[in-house]
Structure 1
Amino acid sequence: MTDPDKSSGADGGLPAGHMSSSPTMISNSQLRYEAKRAFVWTAVVGLVVLAVYISQSLLVIFGAMVFASMIDGGARLLGRALKIRRMWRVGIVLLLTLAFFYWLATYAGSQISREAAQFPQIIEAQVSQAISWLEGQGFAIDQGDIQNLAGNLMSGVGTVTRAIGGIFGGFTTLLLIGIIGIYFAMEPDLYERGVAWMLPNHKRSDFYITASKMGAAMRRLMAGRLVGMVFEGLFTWALLSFYGVPMAALLGILTGLLAFIPNLGALISGVLMVLVGFSGGTDMGLYTIFVYFLVQTFDGYVIIPLIAKKTVDLAPALVLAAQLIMGILFGVLGLFLADPMMAMIKVFLERRSEQNDQQLDQEAIATHGT
Structure 2
Amino acid sequence: MAASPDSRTGALPVGDRRVLADRRASYRLAAAETLEFSDTQFFRRTMLVVALVLFTGLMLALIWYASDVLLVLFSGILFAVLLRAPTNWLAQHAGLRTSAALALSIGALAAVIMLLVYLFAVPMAAQVAQMIETLPQAADRLQDWMEQHRWARPLRPLIAELSRFRLDSQLLGRAGGFLTSTLSAITGAGVALFIGIYLAAQPRLYQRGLMHLLPRKNRPRAYEVMDEIGAVLRWWLAGRLATMTVVGVAAGIGLWLLGVPLAFTLGVLTGVLEFVPYIGPILAAVPPLLISYNADPELGFYVLMLYAAIQGAENYLLTPLIEQRAVALPPALVIFSTLLLGALSGPLGVVLASPITATAIVAVKLLYVEDVVEQPKPKL
Shorter chain as denominator, the TM-score bin is 0.7 to 0.9
> What does 1:108-123 correspond to in 2, within 5 Å?
108-123=120-135
Distance 1:188 1:129, change over 3 A: same
Distance 1:221 1:160, change over 3 A: farther
- The structure with more radius of gyration: 2
Gaps of 5+ in 1: 1-26
1:259 has 2:274 as partner: yes
1:75 offset after TM fit, Å?
Answer: 2.3
Answer yes or no: is the 8 Å Cα contact 2:338–2:350 preserved in 1. Answer: yes
1:227 has 2:242 as partner: yes
Using the size of structure 1 for normalisation, the TM-score is 0.81
Find the counterpart in structure 2 of residue 210 from structure 1.
Answer: 225
Find the counterpart in structure 2 of residue 67 from structure 1.
Answer: 79
1:283 offset after TM fit, Å?
Answer: 4.2
Answer yes or no: is the 8 Å Cα contact 2:77–2:199 preserved in 1. Answer: yes
In the alignment, the residues of structure 1 paired with residue 155 and residue 300 of structure 2 have an alpha-carbon distance, to the nearest angstrom, of 25
In the alignment, the residues of structure 2 paired with residue 237 and residue 148 of structure 1 have an alpha-carbon distance, to the nearest angstrom, of 28
Alignment counterpart, residue 50 of structure 2, candidates 19, 38, 57: 38
In the alignment, the residues of structure 2 paired with residue 213 and residue 176 of structure 1 have an alpha-carbon distance, to the nearest angstrom, of 25
Alignment counterpart, residue 101 of structure 1, candidates 113, 116, 120: 113
1:291 offset after TM fit, Å?
Answer: 2.5
Distance 1:141 1:316, change over 3 A: closer
- Residue by residue over 1:184-223, the C-alpha shift from the partner in whole angstroms, topping out at 9 and shown as x without a partner, is 1111111111111111111111101111111111111011
Find the counterpart in structure 2 of residue 16 from structure 1.
Answer: none
- Residue by residue over 1:234-283, the C-alpha shift from the partner in whole angstroms, topping out at 9 and shown as x without a partner, is 22222222343211111111111101000011111112222222233234
- Greater mean alpha carbon deviation, residues 62-71 or residues 305-314: 62-71
- Residue by residue over 1:145-168, the C-alpha shift from the partner in whole angstroms, topping out at 9 and shown as x without a partner, is 5588669999xxx89979968xx7
Answer yes or no: is the 8 Å Cα contact 2:342–2:349 preserved in 1. Answer: yes
Answer yes or no: is the 8 Å Cα contact 1:218–1:343 preserved in 2. Answer: yes
State the Cα RMSD in Å.
3.1
Distance 1:226 1:192, change over 3 A: same
Find the counterpart in structure 2 of residue 174 from structure 1.
Answer: 189
Q: What is the letter of the counterpart of residue 110 of structure 1?
A: V
Answer yes or no: is the 8 Å Cα contact 1:164–1:333 preserved in 2. Answer: no
In the alignment, the residues of structure 1 paired with residue 314 and residue 360 of structure 2 have an alpha-carbon distance, to the nearest angstrom, of 25
Alignment counterpart, residue 51 of structure 1, candidates 63, 81, 87: 63
Using the size of structure 2 for normalisation, the TM-score is 0.79
1:32 offset after TM fit, Å?
Answer: 4.6
Answer yes or no: is the 8 Å Cα contact 1:164–1:330 preserved in 2. Answer: no
Distance 1:144 1:340, change over 3 A: closer
Percent identity for Structure 1 against Structure 2: 26
Gaps of 5+ in 2: 1-38, 167-174
Q: What is the letter of the counterpart of residue 209 of structure 1?
A: E
Find the counterpart in structure 1 of residue 99 from structure 2.
Answer: 87
In the alignment, the residues of structure 1 paired with residue 187 and residue 159 of structure 2 have an alpha-carbon distance, to the nearest angstrom, of 33
- Greater mean alpha carbon deviation, residues 302-311 or residues 53-62: 53-62
In the alignment, the residues of structure 2 paired with residue 147 and residue 243 of structure 1 have an alpha-carbon distance, to the nearest angstrom, of 25
- Residue by residue over 1:295-316, the C-alpha shift from the partner in whole angstroms, topping out at 9 and shown as x without a partner, is 2222222211111011111111
In the alignment, the residues of structure 2 paired with residue 152 and residue 205 of structure 1 have an alpha-carbon distance, to the nearest angstrom, of 60
Alignment counterpart, residue 323 of structure 2, candidates 308, 313, 316: 308
Answer yes or no: is the 8 Å Cα contact 1:68–1:181 preserved in 2. Answer: yes
Q: What is the letter of the counterpart of residue 358 of structure 2?
A: A
Q: Secondary structure at the match of 1:311?
A: coil
